Amino acid sequence: MSLLPRLMWCRCSDERVDVLVSYLAVGSEEADKFYAQCAIDANVAFVNALPVFIASDPQ
């Protein structure tokens, strides 16, 4: 795990986050995937507010 995802994981753990809500601007699909993976790694629920399909992406 690289530094930034590790920092996200630590932050989610320190703050005892239950749900991570992604409300990014349209066109930021790569950033949304990054935060989705961070949520998975931190065992945190992820809510995607972008009009793109993240969960059905085979990657």
**Given a cut of 80, is residue 18 above it in pLDDT?**
yes
DSSP 3-58: HHHHHHHHHHHHTT-SEEEE-PPTT-HHHHHHHHHHHHHTT-EEEE-SSS-STT--
| pLDDT, position 32 | 86
**How much is the average pLDDT of 11-19?**
77
Give the torsion through C-alpha atoms of 17, 18, 24, 29, to 10 deg. 110
Beta-carbon neighbour count of residue 52 at 10 Å? 13
